[in-house]
Amino acid sequence: MKSRFMRLFLPMENSILSNFRKLQSEIPASVRLVAVSKTHTEEKILHLYNVGHKIFGENKVQELLVKHEHLPKDIEWHFIGHLQTNKVKSIAPFISLIHSVDSLKLLKEINKEAEKNKRVISCLLEVHIATEETKFGMNREEIIELITSPEYGSFRNISICGLMGMASFSSDMNLVQKEFQHISSLFKEIKNNYFKEDQKFCELSIGMSGDYLLAIKEGSTLVRVGSLIFGDR
């Protein structure tokens, strides 16, 4: 079945595979790896797919649509970038997990498009944890307002599976750790107060190439790693 995508390995593939193997050996079994393939070729994605990796992350809708069209249909695509409401429709038929829900309006649109596709779409709520203004995400109050709103209570075609955050782009690991601790304690608070009986609320998506080990220490269940696997963008 996979023969269409099988080829002999070339040197570049070997480095992707060895990067991947090293990462795999460092990540505990309880943590899933999202291979962030944005800007990288379909060929590179196939190198990992061919050794059994199925979870890939993209942050641009157009790029994701092209890759989804061309690549094997059992790839689990995660959307990790800022998502505009008018683009939800195009990814709703196949997206596995949307990490970056940052408003009730967006969630409402995802619910609507999921319903049209007779699906329940898994989503994470994005928390703004970084010091930079440029990053997206909600604060604690906005998240609580969203999940306690009557409108959220009426959504039948989305499932909130946890929280996502992006730490500051900084070499100050104390700062990054503080930001991870903040989202980790918020995750526990939200879980205990609003999703205690909900098994599906179990994901904390934190950690990228520069900080995934720290993120795992602080409770990450999904690390999103790009450049450490595929090289520089």
- By beta carbon distance, the residue nearest ligand PLP is 226
123 near ligand PLP, rule: CB under 6 A: no
- Shortest CB 136 distance to ligand PLP, Å: 9
Q: Which is nearer to ligand PLP, 110 or 206 (CB)?
A: 206
Site for ligand PLP in 204-223 (CB under 6 A): 208-209
Site for ligand PLP in 81-100 (CB under 6 A): 81
Half-sphere exposure of 98 (CA within 13 A, CB side): 32
Part of the chain binding ligand PLP (CB under 6 A), chosen from 47-55, 62-70, 184-192, 224-232: 224-232
- Shortest CB 205 distance to ligand PLP, Å: 8
Backbone φ and ψ of 95, nearest 5°: -65, 140
Q: Which of 12, 15, 38, 152 binds ligand PLP (CB under 6 A)?
A: 38
The amino acid at 215: A
186-191: long-range pairs with CB below 8 Å, 24+: 186/127, 186/140, 186/143, 187/162, 187/163, 187/219, 190/143, 190/144, 190/147, 190/163
Place of tokens 């520069």: 210
Part of the chain binding ligand PLP (CB under 6 A), chosen from 46-54, 152-160, 196-204, 225-233: 225-233
Site string for ligand PLP, 145-184 (x = CB under 6 A): ---------------------x------------------
Site for ligand PLP in 180-199 (CB under 6 A): none
Give the count of beta carbons closer than 10 Å to the beta carbon of residue 201.
19
Which residues make up the interface to ligand PLP (CB under 6 A)? 36, 38, 59, 80-81, 166, 208-209, 224-228
